[in-house]
Structures are given as structure tokens and as C-alpha cells.
Amino acid sequence: MKNNIGFFTHEVGAYENGKFLILRAYYGGEKGWAMEAKFWALNCLIGKSDNAKLDLTSKSKRAEVVKALDLSLAELDDFLHVLKDEAELIHNDDGVIWTQQTQDDLSRAMAVRLEAQNRRNGKVGLPSADNSKTSADESKKSADKNHGAEQSGAEQRGVEKSSSYAREAGPVDNLRDELAKIGLALRPQEITTLEARFQNLEIGSGFVAYAWGRVQAMQGVKNPRAFAKKALLGYDDWVTEFKADEKAAALAPPPLPEPPACPECGRIPDLDTPEPGKPRTATCAKCRRTWTYNDDWQEWHEDERLIEVPISEAG
């Protein structure tokens, strides 16, 4: 099981936080903004590290960080001092760098991973529709809250974004919108847990509509939305089937568009019976004009018409 994170939460008003004001004021001007950017890069390095803690006690690791942040060794030491003692944005335990927020994010991610692992091993049942699992640190408030635990799906990219199912439109960017479409209201922490679960299982927000469709097709469900909530939080079999459907749809050829209207009579040509290995064709039932579908251009082209000349005129 992974013991790092693929995302960290970030509050949209973080740049106004007093700690960042101190950081920018310390360096001043454009350099202040540049050093804030370097802090976020450092936070990425922290999140990628084992247990979300960056061990800088080795010379090789310090050299990697110096290169990543485009700093000298002396500049790195000064930067870490400012972040810890002036802005209070990081913790430094004898050369091991970490932030409380990345630790909170790691706790949430590990809770979701453990839950998924237990379900795969058959150690736990499905979560209750009214009592879904949340992070063990749900009520914990960060002493150095440099980014928020509550954010939109577009801001939280989730755990382990490594699959085509985690689309650029969001693995979970539209999760709240999809939940709203089916009238399913979740608490903020439940949404955070669900976002992390979706990323951990490498599925997009389209799974919400998929699960809702499955629920609606079932007979005798007394509370469809409670059942849908249970499915979203725990039905791994549905996730497997959803992925299979998504993969099949991606491999399937694009749907054949309707042929254009016949310019002579205005009718939509009828599709001809397909022949194996040959392009699709269509024929106007009235005018007998024909069209052929070009797969490369993905459009219909009207075929050239042969003008029949009576034998008497042909001589």
C-alpha cells in the first residue's frame, strides 16, 4: 500500500493568509512571489515522500531538492529557516520536513486505501448508507492551516491520478455537480472521502450517473438515494463493471452520423446493409442517389452519378 499522497488540499484564499504575507514580505517584491511558488513545489516534494515527510538529512536528497527548487545549498537552508521560524509554514524535525496539512491528507488517503484493501480481502462489509466511513482525523484542526480541508472537486485532484479513467475534465472535478443531478446530498467530509475513493480506484465522476442508473433499474429499492450512496462508497464490483464499459466504449468505433439530406428531394438517405470489409453506404429511396461514408474524414460524400445515355443517341 502506498504511504504518500498524490495531491494536497489548497485553499483558494491561501495567498491572503498571514503566513504567506510574512513569506512574501520577508523576500519582498517579485522574489517574494517566486519564493511562495517554491514553497508549493517543496510541498509537492513533501507529499511524494514516504509518509509525506521529506528527509533532508542525506546529501543526495538535499542535492535533489536544491536542483528541483533551483536554489543553492545556502539558499535552501535560509528558505527552510524562513518557512519554519518566520512564516511557520513547515515543521522541521532534525532535517525531516513536513506540514500538518499533508499529514492530514495522508491520513484521509490511507483510511480510504485501507478500507478498499479490506473490502478486497473480504474483511469488512459494505458501509452503511447512513454511516459512511470518514477520516479518523475528521475533527482535527490543523495548527498551521496553510491550506484548507474543504475545497471544490476541481481543486482536489485526488489520490494516484494515473489512469485514463481519471479524465482531464476531472477525475472528480464534476463530482459535486453529478451528485446534485441525482439529488444526493453528502456532508463535506463524505465528499472528500468519496473524491479520494474515486481517485484511489481510478474512476471519474461519470460513475455517479452509472451507479444511479443501476439503482433505478433495480426493483424493490425503498430508498434509491440511500442505496446509491452506499453503492458509491462501497460497491467495488460496480466499479469493475463501469471500467469495463468505459474501456469498451473507448475502443468502439465512433457512431455513424446520419447521412445528409438528398439535395434533389430533401429525403434522408437510407443506410444500406453493411458488407464486411467495405465502407458504409446510403441510398436515397426516391432519387437513387448514393453516398459513401469516409472513415478517415468521418463524413459522408455523395458518389459521382453516371449519366445514362440512350443507345439511340450514343450512335
Q: So what's the pLDDT on residue 49?
A: 92
Question: Both 207 and 279 in a single domain?
Answer: no
pLDDT-based confidence at 40, cuts 50/70/90? very high
User: Is residue 152 predicted with pLDDT exceeding 70?
Assistant: no
pLDDT-based confidence at 167, cuts 50/70/90? very low
Q: Is 211 part of a structural domain of the chain?
A: yes
Question: Both 186 and 238 in a single domain?
Answer: yes
* Prediction pTM value: 0.41
Question: Both 155 and 168 in a single domain?
Answer: yes
Last residue of a domain, one of 228, 251, 274: 251
Last residue of a domain, one of 103, 133, 160: 103
Q: Is 7 part of a structural domain of the chain?
A: no
Question: Both 92 and 50 in a single domain?
Answer: yes
pLDDT, one tens digit per residue, over 233-285 is 888 888 888 888 877 766 666 778 889 999 889 999 999 988 887 889 999 99
Average pLDDT score over the chain: 78
Question: Both 75 and 159 in a single domain?
Answer: no
Question: Both 155 and 246 in a single domain?
Answer: yes
Question: Both 246 and 274 in a single domain?
Answer: no
Q: Is 140 part of a structural domain of the chain?
A: no
Q: Is 218 part of a structural domain of the chain?
A: yes
Q: So what's the pLDDT on residue 135?
A: 39
163-167, 202-206, 266-270: segment of lowest average pLDDT: 163-167
Q: Is 224 part of a structural domain of the chain?
A: yes
Question: Both 233 and 263 in a single domain?
Answer: no
3-state SS, one letter per residue, for the chain: CCCCCCCCCCCCCHHHCHHHHHHHHHHCHHHHHHHHHHHHHHHHHHHHCHHHCEECCCHHHHHHHHHHHCCCHHHHHHHHHHHHHHCCCCEEECCEEECHHHHHHHHHHHHHHHHHHHHHCCCCCCCECCECCCCCCCCCCCCCCCCCCCCCCCCCCCCCCCCCCCCCCCCCCCHHHHHHHCCCCCCHHHHHHHHHHHHHCCCCCHHHHHHHHHHHHCCCCCCHHHHHHHHHHHCHHHHHHHHHHHHHHHHCCCCCCCCCCCCCCCCCCEECCCCCCCCCEEECCCCCCEEEEECCCCEEEECCCCCCCCHHHHC
For the ranges 27-36, 133-142, 276-285, the maximum mean pLDDT occurs at: 27-36
pLDDT, one tens digit per residue, over 53-111 is 999 999 999 999 999 999 999 999 999 999 999 999 999 999 999 998 888 888 887 87
Q: Give the residue numbers spanning the domain of 78.
A: 14-103
Number of domains in the chain: 3
Q: Is 4 part of a structural domain of the chain?
A: no
Q: Is 229 part of a structural domain of the chain?
A: yes
